[in-house]
Amino acid sequence: MKLLRFILDPYARFALFALLIMGLPLVVTNEYYLGVLVVIAIHSIIVLGLDLLMGYTGQISLGHASFYGLGAYITGVLSAHWQWPPLAGLAAALLIVAAIAWIIGVPTLKLHGHYLAMATLGFGIIVFIFFNELGSLTGGPSGLTGIEEMNIFGVTFDSDREWYFLSVSFLLAVLLLSINVVRSRVGRALRAIHGSETASGVLGVNIARYKVGIFVLSALYAALAGWLYAHYITFISPSSFTFMFSVKLVTMVVAGSLGSLWGAIFGAALLTSLPEFLFVFNNYETLVFGFILIVVMIFMPRGLLRGIEDMFKWLWHAARKAPPTSRPGEERS
């Protein structure tokens, strides 16, 4: 029982998870696989933010690829044109994205239902068009080259192995922050809003402020991921930040498990690695993503990870409630 309680404690889980992924390069030495893991870590950071927004607060964003793209392009343009160091680029990206997310969030998050989805969708497409059209700044459809390699306080990151530790450190920091958000008063307020906006409003929760706050936070996660991505690949083009990518991010949250941080990482890992390892998958990619979205929503509305968890819980309870297979008396006779 003690062991069970230990596993259910989020911080113990976090410590275990941290140990596990920090030790992973001992097993995975192939540079290509490490590269895939870097991308998974980057995607996980965005999906964690999106999960705080969708899973905990019940608001949907169909434009998170644009915040990811803005993070990447702001640092990319500053680095390629004016040789800003990556950390300065990060500061600029976070500041600008926070401002933009706030400007989008304040008017739309006061509304209910579909409006945030529509506003973020429209915003995502506008941003995508600007990436394409501001050719002199962004390189247009053919992309932006000349982004400098990651350099933090004089340390250069240029192998996939170093990148693995860098991106995973950021992932762990973001995960820890998210665990704290979820467990704090803020997290409780967010779940209350998800449950019933009217009821939580009556109880004195400042709904609009919390919704805008979590929206800005999730946009900041995406911007951070974009910053990592730009300096990892050192080349960015608009095709990485399309509406379809926003939908993929939503798929990751939904498939992983709405409202479970571990599920978010699981979903990001699953849907990022699938196309990498299955070459056949390529032509069927859109088909499969659509299928996953529908099937998970219908049969496992709580997501794959929660679905598996529920199954185990059910088995556990079934095993405890079921009458013992042989009665003590019978055994002796």
Partner 1 sequence: MGLEQILQFVITGITVGSTYALIGIGFNIIFNATEIINFAQGEFVMLGGMFTVFGMQVLRLPVPFAALLSIILVAFVGLLLNMLAIRPIRNPSPITLIIITIGASIFIRGASSLIWGKDPYPIAAFSGEDPIPFFGAVIQPQSLWVMGVVFAVVVALRQFLNRTITGKAMLASAFQPRAARLVGIDTPYMVLLSFALSGAVGAAAGIIIAPMSMVTYDMGVMMGLKGFCAAIVGGLGHPFGVVLGGLILGVMESLGAGLISSGYKDAIAFVILLLMLFFRPQGILGKGRGERV
The answer to whether residues 61 and 215 touch, using CB atoms and an 8 Å cutoff, is: yes
For residue 151, the 8-state DSSP code is E
Angle between helices 86-108 and 207-233 (to 10 degrees): 150
Q: Which of residues 73-112 bind partner 1 (CB under 8 A)?
A: 104, 107-108, 111-112
Q: What is the C-alpha separation between 275 and 286, in angstroms, rounded?
A: 11
Listed in sequence order, the residues at least 6 apart from 164 whose beta carbon sits closer than 8 Å to its beta carbon are: 24, 25, 34, 37, 38, 41
* Binding of partner 1 by 271 (CB under 8 A): no
Residue 209: beta bridge partners?
Answer: none
Q: Which is nearer to partner 1, 22 or 117 (CB)?
A: 117
Report phi then psi at 179, rounded to 5. Answer: -60, -45
* Binding of partner 1 by 129 (CB under 8 A): yes
Choice from 180, 198, 206, 239 touching partner 1 (CB under 8 A): 198
Choice from 46, 47, 60, 174 touching partner 1 (CB under 8 A): 60
Residue whose tokens read 């990060």: 90
The residue count for binding partner 1 (CB under 8 A) is: 47
Q: Which is nearer to partner 1, 161 or 194 (CB)?
A: 194
Choice from 22, 91, 177, 288 touching partner 1 (CB under 8 A): 288
Choice from 254, 264, 271, 304 touching partner 1 (CB under 8 A): 254
Report phi then psi at 155, rounded to 5. Answer: -95, 125
* Binding of partner 1 by 292 (CB under 8 A): yes
Q: Which is nearer to partner 1, 166 or 207 (CB)?
A: 207
* Binding of partner 1 by 243 (CB under 8 A): yes
Q: Which stretch binds partner 1 (CB under 8 A): 25-33, 113-121, 181-189, 274-282?
A: 113-121
Q: What is the C-alpha separation between 278 and 271, in angstroms, rounded?
A: 11
Choice from 173, 286, 311, 314 touching partner 1 (CB under 8 A): 286
Choice from 24, 36, 117, 208 touching partner 1 (CB under 8 A): 117
> 197: buried, middle or exposed (CB in 10 Å: 19+, 13-18, 0-12)?
middle
Q: Which is nearer to partner 1, 44 or 251 (CB)?
A: 251
Q: Which stretch binds partner 1 (CB under 8 A): 30-38, 162-170, 242-250, 267-275?
A: 242-250
Alpha helix segments (H runs only) across 52-184: 64-82, 86-108, 115-133, 135-138, 160-183
* Binding of partner 1 by 142 (CB under 8 A): no
Residue whose tokens read 């974009």: 226
Choice from 32, 81, 99, 133 touching partner 1 (CB under 8 A): 133
Look at residues 112, 103, 98 and name the one whose alpha carbon lies nearest to residue 207.
112
Q: Which is nearer to partner 1, 60 or 225 (CB)?
A: 60
Q: What is the C-alpha separation between 97 and 3, in angstroms, rounded?
A: 42
Hey, is 126 helix, strand or coil? helix
Look at residues 98, 87, 246 and name the one whose alpha carbon lies nearest to residue 170.
87
> In the complex, what is the shortest distance from the CB of residue 142 to partner 1, in angstroms, rounded to a whole number?
14
Applying CB under 8 A, the residues found at the interface with partner 1 are: 54, 58-60, 62, 104, 107-108, 111-115, 117-119, 121-123, 125-126, 129-130, 132-133, 198, 243-244, 247, 250-251, 254, 283-294, 297-298, 301
